Amino acid sequence: MKSRRILIVDDEPYNLMGLKIIIDACDKSKILKLIVDQATNGMEAYKAVKLATEKKQYEYGLIFMDCSMPILDGYEASDRIR
């Protein structure tokens, strides 16, 4: 079965940890084989998606994006990703 990737983006480490715990709890059976990547600002998220697109090895099925972050906020990052 192909692995599915999720990208979580937040500048607060506790929020990233909480989201990771929630996602892992939803995939207790490990049937979906979810892979969770993390970014701490919008620029990191944009670069992660761009790299995934260029390599064509995987794509993100879901991105959880915080709106208010340093360097590049969630709104601008989402616009660039689209």
Which tens digit of pLDDT belongs to each residue from 52-72?
A: 888 877 889 899 999 999 899
Could you give the angle at the alpha carbon of 4 between the alpha carbons of 43 and 20, nearest 5°? 65
How high does pLDDT run on average in the chain? 88
Nearest alpha carbon to residue 10 among 76, 58, 70, 52: 70
What confidence tens digit (pLDDT) does each residue in 11-29 have?
Answer: 999 999 999 988 888 877 6
In this prediction the pTM is: 0.85
